[in-house]
A and B are shown apart, each in its own frame.
Chain A
Amino acid sequence: MAKVKSLAELKAMREKLSNNLDIREKSNDPDSLVQIKVAMATCGIAAGAKQVMEHLMEKADELKLSIVFTQTGCMGYCHAEPTIEVKCPGRDPIVFGHVDNTRADEILTKYVMNNEMVEGVIPVNYETIG
């Protein structure tokens, strides 16, 4: 990677890179992939987020779903760890709490594949500045 030489270059880079995050910022593109973010701060990992993420990946392979998995920081819902955010194309992101292997399977087979709601949705209770 070449070094960034100026503010203008950095801004150009942001433009270019923001396309990569577009699927996360806007869910309008119907061809984009399902994205699952797993909250992996210390609290999440301690509650089993790592193992759940691995399980989700295996299960997604098994079900032949193409899903982008991302680890992210603390979402703040420590009372419901492990938490994951699922964003399906054309649908709004949803945060699920208390995700164990059973619930993970349910989320993939019911919510991701058939758009059926499953238990454990946490309403987002904050506003984030851009």
Chain B
Amino acid sequence: MHVLVCGGTGCQASASAQIIENFQRILAEKGLQDEVQVVRTGCFGFCEKGPIVKIMPDNTFYTQVKPEDVEKIVNEHIIKGRKVTDLLYLDPENKEHVSDSKHMGFYRKQLRIALRNCGFINPENIDECISRGGYEALGKCLTEMTPQQVIDEVTKSGLRGRGGAGFPTGVKWGLCAKNKCDEMYVICNADEGDPGAFMDRSIMEGDPHSIVEAMAICGYAIGASHGLVYIRAEYPLAIHRLQIAIAQAREYGLLGNDILGSGFNFDIELRYGAGAFVCGEETALIHSMEGKRGEPTLKPPFPAVSGYMAKPSNVNNVETFANVPIIITKGADWFASIGSEKSKGTKVFALAGQINNVGLIEVPMGTTLRDIIYEIGGGIKGGRKFKAVQTGGPSGGCLTEKHLDTAIDYESLAAAGSMMGSGGMVVMDETSCMPAIAKFYLEFTCEESCGKCSPCRIGNKRMLEILTKITEGNGTMDDLQELRNLAAVIKDTALCGLGQTSPNPVLSTLDNFWDEYVEHVVDKKCRAGVCKKLMSYEIDKEKCIGCGKCAKNCPGDAISKTDYIAPGHKLPSMVIDSTKCIKCGACIAGCKFGAISVK
């Protein structure tokens, strides 16, 4: 039997050394020192609940152990084989004691596969990458596998496109490989455009070699010797690090001619985008690379048949590529063992909004929204109430409290009226107004619409006008119906993915927050206090002492004196002229007497 005591700095600071001493002393007193070994280990990572004591082989995990608890553990657990329940981890959700760390929320939540080297290696040093097994997957493909075997392995792993739509990657490679041609292209879509998303950028900045390697693997699999990375010029650091990675790979002969003596040639070039959202759509991306306007075209023909320069091309997203090398080295079965039934592996999310731990996270597919928001994200800022979470950016939707236990994968998010998207996740609390959020995303799509097809160009504009009307208090119930009609038409008739998905934020908020829309239209009220046109500031003339501070603070000269002096006060009270008020809130911030309120 082994007793593992955490010797990490955090636990040491809370007396783990004393715990070890006590274990050794008490075990010696009972004559058990030869049967039970006390080991001081490294950090278990769960510093919040330290000091940690783990008993092996039954894998019992004790948290917040005090030196005086040791005797109890020895007497009860080690001698009598009974777990000391009150020292076990208490699950915050179901208030049950968990004895085994594998079942603890904290440990099952995050798993870094695509981000395996991010924050670990120096991204500007290829040697560090190689020492972590970098380029071995490429070597394995070139020397031990046929191109078809590579495609089969990726197909078998169940890897699906991480750009959002979730098309099976191996199948995509297979389709492209069928169209043998003298010139073929592997394209990496690094045009990350969702507001608030930074997964791809972080991968390129933290582990650029994984992209270089994966593109070469893809080139070998489909028979291409040219690689192109389409990256937005707004990502200067990612560009810089990719350039270094490519140069180093060339120097080591891991790009160029006759890679690793296999006779396979492959090289990568960077192409810069000007940061148009529509260029994340693969046909628009290809046109932009060709030097044409970034406008989509109808599919088919798919890029696999006629892509860059009318040659067969395979386009994959950065995060998709980042998963490829590890699938080759660890095997398809390993990858397929992670995640949910139809969505394998992990997904990186950029967690943002009204949440305590804003950050970049990677979780196995099938993790629930609740785990992400409350366990990893640390809950809502300022202890406010959760209202909605927006996934999938301008193409996705807002999910509510009733979706919190949805296991995240491509299908379940689509069923709930949102989508996986590229992985932006914006958490909102009760201070967010849903019609205003829908309007924000629609403003974004209107701005980013390329204008080629009329449903997207004109339809979205009309929807935006209606939403503006609603948030300004001029909406009618007919407008709400009209929003639905327009949304349905745009979804059915727009040319590309941008247009087809652009009504999603409106539709999902209409479905999930119908009451709030009705409030805006019928009661002319915005419960979150966001829509300024629906708010009015008022001074309680009985509470106002007439100091005039609000009038001084008011940038619009909207506050003046009245003739009324409230009983007990010496100066006349103030009043706000609502026609001049710009609803900035400066008066409230300055009033020490709580006399001003928003209605």
Where the two chains meet, the residues of A that have a C-beta atom closer than 8 Å to any C-beta of B are 1, 3-7, 9-11, 13-14, 17-18, 20-21, 24, 37, 39, 41-43, 45, 70-79, 85, 91-94, 115, 117, 121, 123-130
Contacts and interface: CB of A to CB of B under 8 A. Distances in A.
B213 to A, nearest CB: 11
Contact of B112 (A5, A6, A94, A126): A126
A79 B43 CA distance: 22
B110 to A, nearest CB: 3
Contacts of B252: 1, 3-4
B362 interface: yes
Contacts of B135: 4, 10
Contact of B202 (A3, A18, A41, A92): A41
B118 interface: yes
Counting contact residues on chain B (CB < 8 A from A), the size range is: 35 or more
Given A20-B131, A121-B47, 16 more contacts: A3-B251, A4-B252, A4-B260, A7-B139, A14-B136, A21-B131, A21-B132, A71-B122, A73-B203, A117-B13, A121-B9, A123-B46, A125-B45, A126-B109, A126-B111, A129-B116
Nearest to A85: B119
A99 B8 CA distance: 21
Interface of B: 7-10, 13, 42-43, 45-48, 106-107, 109-113, 115-124, 127-128, 130-133, 135-136, 139-140, 142-144, 198, 201-203, 205-207, 235, 237-238, 251-254, 260-261, 326, 330, 356-362, 376
A5 B136 CA distance: 13
A71 B357 CA distance: 23
Counting chain B CB atoms within 10 Å of each CB, the highest count among A6, A75, A76, A93 belongs to A76
B206 A72 contact: yes
A30 to B, nearest CB: 15
B130 to A, nearest CB: 5
A126 B127 contact: no
B206 A74 contact: yes
A37 B140 CA distance: 31
Nearest to B257: A3
A24 B121 CA distance: 9
B359 A77 contact: yes
Contact of A74 (B42, B119, B130, B356): B119
A124 to B, nearest CB: 5
Given A92-B43, A127-B107, A128-B112, A21 B128 contact: yes
16 contacts: A4-B252, A4-B253, A10-B130, A17-B130, A21-B131, A39-B119, A41-B205, A42-B201, A45-B237, A73-B207, A74-B115, A77-B359, A85-B119, A91-B9, A92-B8, A129-B112
Given A5-B260, A37-B119, A92-B8, A126 B361 contact: yes
Contacts of A20: 127-128, 131
Given A3-B253, A4-B254, A126 B139 contact: no
A6 B120 CA distance: 26
Given A76-B115, A127-B107, A129-B116, A14 B124 contact: no
Give the one of B9, B109, B140, B203 with max A CB within 10 A. B9
B206 A41 contact: yes
A125 B359 CA distance: 11
A42 B237 contact: yes
Contacts of B136: 7, 10-11, 14
Contacts of A17: 127-128, 130-131
Nearest to B376: A125
Contacts of A115: 9
A85 B123 CA distance: 16
Contact of B110 (A73, A91, A92, A126): A126
Contacts of B356: 79
Nearest to B133: A14
A125 B106 contact: yes
B131 A10 contact: no
